[in-house]
């Protein structure tokens, strides 16, 4: 594992917490981001990395219903589609990775 890489899971509509009052089984989902930003990442920065400027209604709805951002291990990140996250981007938020 690269010690400069951090993985964060962003949960929406109560995913990862089925007991939450915000849990919606029809909409609950999670995404992962790959960064060089050490814990703890600000939720709004994580959302900006994932979505950039939201263009679609579904993106805005997810942003409004983000229920947690948590650091996860590289092994746990492999349950998500992370294979193509190889393009290194330096931004005002910090360094993160996107697809080519």
Nearest to 71 by CA among 36, 100, 99: 36
Q: What is the pLDDT of residues 21-61, one digit of tens each?
A: 889 999 999 999 999 999 999 999 999 999 998 889 999 99
pLDDT the model gives residue 1: 54
Average pLDDT of the residues of the chain: 93
State pTM to two decimals: 0.91
pLDDT the model gives residue 96: 97
């Amino acid at each position: 594992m690269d010690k400069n890489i951090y993985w964060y899971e962003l949960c929406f509509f109560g995913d990862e917490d089925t007991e939450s009052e915000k849990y919606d089984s029809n909409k609950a989902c999670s995404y992962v981001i790959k960064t060089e930003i050490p814990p703890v990442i600000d939720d709004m920065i994580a959302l900006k990395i994932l979505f950039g400027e939201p263009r679609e209604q579904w993106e805005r709805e997810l942003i409004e219903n983000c229920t947690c951002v948590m650091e996860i291990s590289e092994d746990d990140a492999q349950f998500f589609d992370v294979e193509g996250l190889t393009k290194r981007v330096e931004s005002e938020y910090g360094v993160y990775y996107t697809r080519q």
